[in-house]
Amino acid sequence: MAHADSPDPAALEGYREYLLFLARLHVPPRLQSKLGASDIVQQTLLQATQKVGQFRGRDATELAAWLRRILSNVLIDAVRAFEGDKRDVGLEKSLEATLNQSSARLEAFLCANTGSPCEQALRHEKILQLSRALAQLPEDQQQALELHYLQGCTVAEVAEAMERSQRSIAGLVRRGLQKLRELLSNGEETTYGP
């Protein structure tokens, strides 16, 4: 970030994988064929760049929260455009709450329970690393991990959603976690996953 009140617009690009991860989780299944997560993220980053002067946070954690709010608004507008709905306060609150829950699950997935500003910044960087690593996984492993660990679905629910056997899903989750550990092991001794 350039300074406390105004992040460098180029630095926003570092949040692309994180936002893409959240968008994939929250585009309604009925609209996934019409509404691409990458398009949602592109619109989010465009709006963030245009509004960068409005950011009043002090750190990367607050910047991530600000970007989640913009993502939430972009998603709500996109859903309205496809479904022709007028303003739905329930949809807005529900979407913002689920985005925040996904972000909290992502933090819990990293097993971080820290409080100092330095520790929060480190945790935030790990979240960005994890979202980048998830993006490198094969699509089926990525989807299985996101549904199971980050949306809180059981293996049976993931199997039903992905139209596969529970055994197949268990294998995807196991291989996905193994690959994530490989991608994230840059000499760190932090344990990821359960």
Query: Does some domain include residue 78?
Result: yes
If you average pLDDT over every residue of the chain, what do you get? Answer: 76
- Looking at per-residue pLDDT, the higher value among 153 and 173 belongs to 173
* pLDDT exceeds cutoff 60 at 99: no
How many domains would you assign to the chain? 2
For residue 120, the model assigns a pLDDT of 62
The CATH number given to whatever domain includes residue 94 is: 1.10.1740
Q: How far apart are CA 113 and CA 5, in angstroms?
A: 27
pTM of the entire structure?
A: 0.59
Query: Does some domain include residue 163?
Result: yes
Same domain, yes or no: 59 and 147: no
Look up the domain containing 61 and give its range.
1-114
Task: Enumerate long-range contacts of 181-189, CB under 8 Å, 24 or more apart.
Answer: 183/133, 183/136, 184/129, 184/130, 184/133
Query: Does some domain include residue 55?
Result: yes
For residue 1, the model assigns a pLDDT of 43
Same domain, yes or no: 79 and 143: no
